[in-house]
Structures are given as C-alpha cells and as structure tokens.
Amino acid sequence: MNQPNSLEGICKEINNGLEISNGNLNRTDFIENTIKTADTHLLKNTEISWIDEKEKRLINWLWMIIDSNRTYQNLTIYLDFQLPYISKLEILNHKANNDQGIRTIINDDIYQTYGLLQKPQSITEMHELILKFLDFILIPTNYKRELIDKLKIKWGEVSNFEKFTWLDINNLEQHIWALDYIDNYRKNEYLYKTTPGLRPTSTERYYEYFISCIDSWQTTNDTKELFLIKIKKAWNQKKHRDKLDGKKPCSFNLSQATKDQLDYLSKRSSKHKNEIIEELINTKHQQVNNIYNDI
C-alpha cells in the first residue's frame, strides 16, 4: 500500500480508517489519545527549525551521521553523551510490554521499522528523512530536546572547520579521485563508521559528499587538518605525474647568459622553464616546417 504524500492525503487515510473501525474505536478517544501522544513525542516546529533545508552542509552532515548510526542509542554514542534512563511509564503506545521494551525502542532502526526511503538522492529527501527520524523515535520530548542540544553543539564544532579551499567545486575528476582516496584510507583507518549511502551523480553533490565525509569523521579538527594536508599533497603529486605523462627528461648545457634569459622569460610569463623551452622549440619547428613545405 502506497503512503500518501500530502497532508490532505494523510487526513483522508486517517478518516477512512476511523470510518472502517467505526464500532471498534471511539472516535473522540482516538483523537484525544493521538493528540496526547503527539504532544508527548513530537518536538515543536520551532525546535527543529534550525534544521534548514537550505543549509546543505548541515543536512549532508546530519544525514551522514544518522545513516551511519541508524538508532537512537548509536547516535548518543556517536555524540558522546550518556544514554538516559527511559522509564517504561514514559513510553506511550508502544507495542513492547516486557523488560526488553525500552531496549527495543532505543535500538530501533527507524528506517527499516517504518519502511522509509533509505537511499535519498537529494537534499530535500535527506531533510525529510532527518525529520522523520526525530519524529519516529518513541521517546519523550525532553530526551529529544537533549539530543537536539547535543546535535547543535556538535554541529558548532563541525561547521567551524573550514579547510576545503583547495577543493575545486567544479572539478568532478578531483572529487571522484578524492573519494577513492578516502575509501582506500578507510580500509586502514577509522574515517567513518560505515560507507555512507550511494555516491552522488552530479558534480555539486560530489563536492558536498566529500565534505560531509570529513565532517562526520569522529575525530579532532587537528587530525582532520593533517589528513587534508596529506590528501592535498597526494592530489598535487597526481597532477604533476599527469603533466609528465608522455614526456622525457632532457639534459643539456646552457651558457650563463642564455640561462639568465630563460630565467627572465620564465619569471615574466609565470611559466616553468620547460614550458618556455617547449614553446620556443614548437615555434621554431613550425617556422622551419613552413619553409620546407613552401619549397
């Protein structure tokens, strides 16, 4: 059965359900209990308004850590705060009524339990799944507020790290290479808990995805900075090797005067000496070639 995708559709489904139940369900009691349960478990819009869909880096980070941890308990461990004791009396309308009931609640994989989308391909889909995670955790709002507070503190630490200027937002080749580098690094080091979701398909999303991999890495900013220095150095080495592809080293002597002239040309044109020599040879070769073609 397909889930309704609009508020009007949801209301229609609820009313249809009430009509079908008719004699087995007191409509007034159901509505009152639903409102009571919502008040107990749902945060107010003002409390989640900071999770703004327009803040792409925030949404990517939140989805990355939620997707990697999946349960309320795992998320509290990631955020490094003590899991609160939740009394069974504080849990309303939960099917578990045994000693393991509370453990079941905090260990629920929300997306599997409720059959939700698990591989979002856009910021909008990620945003919706983040809010559903917060809505569907069957714990009282005071614990959800504590979770929100911890997320805000963590995001403050994460968002203050700005070391991505070397990454070209329009260079898809660089993004793919960087993610391959991360995957290889992850095999030997703890970079993130699980391979997060599917790789994106657009250049912009690749750029965002790389940053969210670094953002969600549970380590110090100093460690992140050292890693990015290492990956930047590796990227520059790759570019240098690519430039040398198909080239042969040459060794020849120049007079001091000619060397000084070469240094001058290199400085004035902001080009490497080998580039200057290649240009001069290509120009002279073309001139000689034209002369012989005219004969």
* Selected residue with higher pLDDT from 94 and 291: 291
For residue 115, count other CB atoms closer than 10 A to its CB.
8
Per-residue pLDDT band at 229 (split at 50, 70, 90) = very high
In percent, the amount of the chain with pLDDT more than 90 equals 27
Model confidence over 159-185: pLDDT tens digits?
Answer: 999 889 989 999 989 998 998 888 888
Comparing CA positions, the residue from 75, 191, 210, 51 lying closest to residue 126 is 51
What residues contact 233, with CB distance under 8 A and at least 6 apart?
Answer: none
The residue extents of the domains of the chain are 1-41, 44-159, 172-244, 256-294
Highest-confidence segment of 11-15, 83-87, 161-165, 286-290: 161-165
DSSP 21-36: HGGGS-HHHHHHHHHH
Helical H runs in the chain? 7-21, 27-41, 45-48, 56-69, 72-78, 101-106, 110-113, 123-136, 141-159, 172-186, 203-215, 221-244, 256-269, 273-294
Kindly report whether the global pTM for this prediction surpasses the value 0.85.
no
Higher pLDDT, 58 or 258: 58
**pLDDT, tens only, 191-201:** 554 445 556 76
Q: What is the CA radius of gyration of the chain?
A: 30
Segment holding 97, helix H or strand E: none
Per-residue confidence (pLDDT) for residue 83, from 0 to 100? 59
- Residue 11: is it exposed, middle or buried by C-beta count within 10 angstroms (0-12/13-18/19+)? exposed
